[in-house]
Structure 1
Amino acid sequence: MVLRDKIAIVTGGSRGIGKAICEALARQGARVVIFDVNAAELQNCVTELKAAGFDAEGYEVNVAQADKVEEAVAGVIDNLGRIDILVNNAGITRDTLLMRMKEEDWDAVLAVNLKGVFNCTKAVSRPMMKQRSGVIINISSVVGLMGNAGQANYAASKAGIIGFTKSVARELASRGVRANAIAPGFIVTQMTDVLSDEIKGELQKQIPLGRLGQPEDVANLVVFLASDNASYITGQTIAVDGGMVMH
């Protein structure tokens, strides 16, 4: 168990990639704390993890609200004493072409996907610097590397995460805190379930490995980056995309 007794916060951890990350961290011995805006899904996920014999708890938090994030992080430290790992995974989409995109669609996506990462990272940075250890893992997207028609807001938020991660990595490195980003490609989740078989087939043609990814493909990398096996890796963006983007 490479993460035995580590305290890990995962935002948006109740379903999809986030849920797979929670399960993978828990299997490696981490105590998982889920921040999620959906109370029912949050409770279900915590219950499932506990039923499987893992340590887990949840906080109903909208990561776009700085005061709520700070309150929840303070609660985790009060209850568990420390925070070793933060996985910024919470994200939303409001897809449409730029010409049709409403200002509120832009604002909503940037608020959760980018400002949420800022809020959570800022809240854990002081305690991590004080303990002179910690790992921050930000879930970006290949769309942040290559762009995508109909996703100007999402792509901008995910590209922003990459620049943010590099800056945080430089600021916190001297205190033993590492920060990296992961850029998933097309992963089979509820978000991609809405795509037609035809679109999925077209996507697969763009992927050298010829298949969509699984949430576990991302979760396995999170475990590695969170562990001491990755102790000399910081400020990096690693794509988990079957070879779709090579740079």
Structure 2
Amino acid sequence: MSDVRDPRPPDPPLPDPRLPDLSGRVALVTGASGGIGGGIAWQFARAGAAVVAHYHHGESRAAALVDRITRAGGDAIAVAADLTVEDDCRRLVAESAAWQDGRLDALVNNAGIQPLTPLDELTAADWRGMYDANVTSAFSCTQAAARVMRERGGGSVTHIASIEGRHPAPGHAHYNAAKAALIMFARSAALEYGPHGIRVNTVSPGLIDRPGLAADWPEGVRRWTAAAPLVRLGRPEDIGNACVFLASDTADWISGTDLVVDGGVGARPTW
């Protein structure tokens, strides 16, 4: 028998009473194998929701997330899908709903890409690829989820946008434009799906920490922490908390809005 033990302390039992109570609800988080997506999925589990952790290439990371949730007493499964394929989006939503007897209460469209390319070097293929991964995928998942939700009287959809949807960054012309489109798509969906009891919003994160970020981009991290009134980078769980709030009954009259989660950096003067 091996004496090797997991050095990490065990997570506290789920659900966490300090968060809104989402017990009995099902949440689908796309891109849950990534850092922000994993943080979102974990916070939904902490709130008591059963979590569908979508992944494309990150099977081992999604499996580790599911294991973490279930070891803490939560309920989760991992489902693979290529969200640039419309039929895969529909299948993902159908499998998510089938898992818990037709329930799908919350969708978080988090999956996306963020390549850095100067505008003069962008190709039309780069542009289309950005929109397929960041906007069209959200459209397809939202449309499929809304068809399930309205049969059950409503639900919530949250898109993960970015502060770059309002404040462009160099080298991100296609990303900036895609995130701006996502914000307007959420408002459009809120308008049309509201009568069915479906609320649609966006969360726009600022700079979110990840392993190795300070080493990869020390100057950017230094400038951010100097500029942010709360004097730190964001954490994936900060975005998860915003998404849990928007999916909860506490936010039941909030739709068509963009919740900025940036540590206050957007309050800095630009002149």
What is the aligned counterpart of 1:110 among 106, 131, 148?
131
CA distance in 1, matches of 2:213, 2:252: 33
The aligned counterpart of 1:146 is 167
Classify the secondary structure of the residue corresponding to 1:245.
helix
What is the aligned counterpart of 2:248 among 217, 227, 232?
227
One-letter code aligned to 2:55: D
Classify the secondary structure of the residue corresponding to 2:266.
coil
Deviation at 1:150, TM superposition (A): 0.5
Contact 1:145 1:159 in 2 (8 A): yes
What is the aligned counterpart of 1:4 among 23, 40, 45?
23
Classify the secondary structure of the residue corresponding to 1:181.
strand
Deviation at 1:160, TM superposition (A): 0.7
CA distance in 1, matches of 2:61, 2:126: 24
CA distance in 1, matches of 2:173, 2:211: 21
Which has the greater radius of gyration? 2
Contact 2:214 2:221 in 1 (8 A): no
CA distance in 2, matches of 1:94, 1:244: 22
Classify the secondary structure of the residue corresponding to 2:263.
coil
One-letter code aligned to 2:249: D
Q: Quick one: structure 1 residues 197 and 120, their matched pair in 2 at CA, closer, same or farther if it must change by over 3 Å?
A: same
The aligned counterpart of 2:104 is 83
Runs of 4+ in 1 over 3 A off after TM superposition: 190-195
Deviation at 1:29, TM superposition (A): 0.9
The aligned counterpart of 2:66 is 46
Contact 1:140 1:162 in 2 (8 A): yes
Counting only pairs closer than 5 Å after superposition, residues 163-182 of structure 1 correspond to structure 2 as 163-182=184-203
**1:118-147 CA deviation, whole Å, 9 max, x = no partner?**
011011111111212100011000011111
Deviation at 1:49, TM superposition (A): 1.8
Deviation at 1:76, TM superposition (A): 2.1
CA distance in 2, matches of 1:72, 1:6: 17
Counting only pairs closer than 5 Å after superposition, residues 1-247 of structure 1 correspond to structure 2 as 2-38=21-57, 39-80=59-100, 81-190=102-211, 192=213, 195-246=216-267
Deviation at 1:79, TM superposition (A): 2.6
Deviation at 1:190, TM superposition (A): 4.9
Once the two structures are aligned, what percentage of the paired residues are identical? Answer: 36
Deviation at 1:205, TM superposition (A): 2.9
CA distance in 2, matches of 1:227, 1:133: 12
CA distance in 2, matches of 1:193, 1:6: 37
Segments of 5+ residues of structure 2 without an aligned counterpart are: 1-16
Single out whichever of 199-208 and 175-184 deviates more from structure 2.
199-208
Contact 1:142 1:184 in 2 (8 A): yes
Q: Quick one: structure 1 residues 190 and 100, their matched pair in 2 at CA, closer, same or farther if it must change by over 3 Å?
A: farther
CA distance in 1, matches of 2:92, 2:239: 25
CA distance in 2, matches of 1:195, 1:235: 36
Deviation at 1:191, TM superposition (A): 8.5
Q: Normalized against structure 1, the TM-score is what?
A: 0.94
**1:184-217 CA deviation, whole Å, 9 max, x = no partner?**
0011125945632222112223323222111111
Contact 1:42 1:60 in 2 (8 A): no
Deviation at 1:246, TM superposition (A): 4.3
Segments of 5+ residues of structure 1 without an aligned counterpart are: none
CA distance in 1, matches of 2:42, 2:53: 11
CA distance in 2, matches of 1:216, 1:77: 25
CA distance in 1, matches of 2:49, 2:30: 15
Contact 2:105 2:149 in 1 (8 A): yes
CA distance in 1, matches of 2:221, 2:214: 9
Q: Normalized against structure 2, the TM-score is what?
A: 0.86
**1:77-126 CA deviation, whole Å, 9 max, x = no partner?**
22312200000001111111100123332222211111111011011111
The aligned counterpart of 2:6 is none
Contact 2:163 2:204 in 1 (8 A): yes
